[in-house]
Structure 1
């Protein structure tokens, strides 16, 4: 199993849907000027599994990387459909890994943010007590 396509796909997901909208007005300005169907597509593709599938297809086409290399050589009974079936199944597997990455990051992130918040509150109280 090769995790490279899932890792690159997840990195692109974070960049496009979580970071670029926060990094200034230029990205949001571009989004607002896209045709309405593309704006709708961007707004609806928040799901890491859904967008991960299409990213996986694009990444496979651009790089030739497989998440599951065994899917590159499907049995002969698939005939000329074998490459399409292989790409489809590989994209599903990659999308699943992208979703797992997203869920894992959220599961780790929430306790970390809570701990940071609690520490900040503790430090604030300690500073108040020291100044009395």
Structure 2
């Protein structure tokens, strides 16, 4: 198993659904200006699993990377369906790992943020009047 595809798909998911909407109003204005079908897809694909699947398919096509390299050579009895079945199964596996990564990052993010805020509050109260 390799993790290049998972890492790239997770990074793209974070960029598109968590970071770009925070970077000023230009991205949200862009999404609002899209045709209703496309803006609706953006709103519906906040799920890391769903978005991860489609991101993984696109990235696989662009890079040739596999999360499970053995899926590149499926049995011959599948004939011409072997390649699309391999891509879909790999994208599903990648989406599962993207989902786990996003949930994991969110799970550690809240306690980390709370600890940071508690430290800032402590420093302010401990050193009132001094530059910290």
TM class by shorter chain equals over 0.9
Match for residue 66 of structure 1? 66
**Helix, strand or coil at the partner of 1:62:** helix
Cα drift, residue 75 of structure 1: 0.8
Match for residue 25 of structure 1? 25
**Helix, strand or coil at the partner of 1:67:** coil
TM-score, normalization: structure 2?
A: 0.93
Match for residue 57 of structure 1? 57
Cα drift, residue 17 of structure 1: 0.6
Which region of structure 1 is more displaced relative to structure 2, 83-92 or 105-114? 105-114
TM-score, normalization: structure 1?
A: 0.93
Match for residue 46 of structure 2? 46
Q: Number of paired residues?
A: 130
Cα drift, residue 128 of structure 1: 4.0
Could you list the runs of 5+ residues in structure 1 that have no partner in the other structure? none
Flag as ranges the 4+ runs of structure 1 deviating above 3 A.
127-130
Deviations 1:4-25 (A, max 9, x none): 1110011111111111111111
Cα drift, residue 127 of structure 1: 3.2
Match for residue 91 of structure 2? 91
Cα drift, residue 124 of structure 1: 2.4
Deviations 1:82-105 (A, max 9, x none): 001100100001101111110111
Could you list the runs of 5+ residues in structure 2 that have no partner in the other structure? none
